Amino acid sequence: MDHPPLSILLLAVSRRLFGDSLPWLRVFPALSAAATVYMTGLTVHLLGGSRRAIIIAALAVIAMPTILIMSSFYSMNAFEPLIWTSILYFTLRLVLEENTKYWGVIGVLLGLGLETKHTMGVYAVALVTGMVMAGTRRLLWNRWFLSGAIGCVLLLLPNLVWQYVNGFPSMEFYHNAMINKNVPRGPADVVLDQILFANPFAFPLWITGLAYFFFTQQGGKFRFLGWSYLILLSLMVVSQSSRPDRIGAIYPVLFAGGAVAIGKPGRHSALKAFPVLMIVSLLAGAAAFAPVTTPVLPPPVLKNYLAAIGFAPSLEQGKANEPIPQWLADRLGWRELAADVAAVYHSLPAGEQRNTVIVSSNYGEAGALELYGAEFGLPRVYATHNSYHLWGPPSDSVKTYIGVFVNRSDLDNRFESVVEAAIHTCGECTRPQRLIPIYVARGPRFSITREWANFKIYN
């Protein structure tokens, strides 16, 4: 319910083809990142850039922390940069060739993007607004634009129908996440986060790209890209967003513009050396950020490295200034959690085990216990969080619950007996996952089928 289904469909294909092997689960995100690099190169070529410019822009995408992070594990975020970079490539062709038929391709790509992340609609609004502000509106409001919009809506229609039937749960999720999840950031912090997650070593490149689209004759025909970026950045500032990746997909085209600008042959020796210095800088940035963004160092070594460079991002409430960033720390401890829960479950009498279920208030814990359930012989897993809530409730005939990541007082109020049977520990995890009590609750004093709707957590 928190995101559209396309990336989950691709995940189902991946699991059917390759199983749950971690390397194979990361193949599709890695291919998406590689294709983003390729589309960035095509964009440079379209803008008239040289081979040297293509190399510079490609290295900038490869070294971009947001791309490195999102392409190293499976999520819907891995596909957003590829889809948006492709949309902007065809938009550039539309403007360059003044061929409005490209709106059909753009509409299909946007429909696929919206079936991956609803928030891609923000990119689309920024793009159209930028085209209006830059005087490119003559290429809008024609039958091909309308056909592209219709194609986009048709692709999104199944999810829109599902949202309507289910009371628009994604809107509820986005609202709650904005209030309860993200850490408010001031304007200066938002801008600094953009510089950091686009790679500080690449800052001269993309700021040059922004200037290229605004202030040069060659790039001026694509000024709408500069306006689109400023609109997106302004939205980040106004919303005080702590998630710099929200507009990360716009940077490949800025890298492309910057690479075209600095990749031209210069008359002065200093200008001739600048592209080489840029390549060296980008390679240095890739080396510096690789341990921060991808799982290449053991957790103890990584903590020391992050402490040495002073890197401690704060992206979500309750997970600020972690010694290991959330995108790495949240990969740890799940199988060990399943083993600890299994020890509690198998300690129950055989007769009681047959009438026992596991319940959690977090989809992460529930997902891990379900994934490793067969290996450890665990019972059915239920959860009140996000889509898991749609898959409940258990039967009222269940008399024993194993609670994992649940509130003790809630159990005490609803069960005859509550025992803390074990505590799962994960020293390298984020704060919420470091100490997780495992409870055995017996004798429910309520009807879970009647109260299940009240347990819903969309956040």
Average pLDDT (384-401) is 95
**Distance between CA atoms of residues 436 and 424, nearest Å:** 5
**Using one digit for the tens of pLDDT, what is the confidence trace for 182-209?**
677 889 989 999 999 999 999 999 999 9
- What's residue 323's pLDDT? 84
201 alpha carbon, distance to own chain's centre: 23
**Distance between CA atoms of residues 442 and 416, nearest Å:** 6
Please check the confidence at residue 319 and state whether its pLDDT lies above 80: no
**Using one digit for the tens of pLDDT, what is the confidence trace for 259-312?**
999 977 554 455 677 888 889 999 998 898 899 999 999 999 999 898 888 877
Give pTM, 2 decimals: 0.91
pLDDT class for 405, splitting at 50, 70, 90? very high
Cα dihedral sign, 360-320-459-331:
negative
- Exposed, middle or buried, 7 (CB in 10 Å: 0-12/13-18/19+)? buried
- What's residue 136's pLDDT? 84
**Using one digit for the tens of pLDDT, what is the confidence trace for 76-92?**
999 999 999 999 999 99
Please check the confidence at residue 173 and state whether its pLDDT lies above 80: yes
- What's residue 318's pLDDT? 57
**Distance between CA atoms of residues 38 and 443, nearest Å:** 59
- What's residue 394's pLDDT? 96
**Using one digit for the tens of pLDDT, what is the confidence trace for 441-450?**
999 999 999 9
- What's residue 265's pLDDT? 59
- What's residue 29's pLDDT? 96
C-alpha distances (whole Å) from 298 to each of 18, 50, 74, 307, 433 are: 26, 40, 20, 14, 18
| % of the chain exceeding 90 in pLDDT | 76
Q: Which pair of structure tokens corresponds to residue 163?
A: 């949202």
On the question of a cis peptide bond just before residue 393, with omega within 30 degrees of 0, the verdict is yes
- What's residue 184's pLDDT? 74
Please name the amino acid found at residue 77. Answer: N
Radius of gyration of the chain measured on its C-alpha atoms: 25
- What's residue 274's pLDDT? 80
**Distance between CA atoms of residues 404 and 363, nearest Å:** 11
Residue 420 pairs with which residues in a beta bridge? 439
Cα dihedral sign, 399-400-404-410:
positive
Average pLDDT (94-116) is 96
- What's residue 317's pLDDT? 60
Please check the confidence at residue 315 and state whether its pLDDT lies above 70: no
Average pLDDT (221-250) is 91
What's the angle, vertex CA 36, arms to CA 185 and CA 74, rounded to 5? Answer: 65
Q: Pick the residue with more confidence: 129 or 265? A: 129
Please check the confidence at residue 161 and state whether its pLDDT lies above 80: yes
Mean pLDDT of the residues in the chain? 92
Tell me if residue 242 falls in helix, strand or coil.
coil
- What's residue 271's pLDDT? 60
pLDDT class for 133, splitting at 50, 70, 90? very high
- What's residue 314's pLDDT? 65
Q: Which pair of structure tokens corresponds to residue 226?
A: 């500069």
Phi/psi region, residue 404 (left: phi>0; alpha: psi -120 to 50; beta: rest), is beta
- What's residue 137's pLDDT? 81
**Distance between CA atoms of residues 100 and 83, nearest Å:** 19
- What's residue 191's pLDDT? 92
Q: Which pair of structure tokens corresponds to residue 68?
A: 């490195």
- What's residue 400's pLDDT? 97
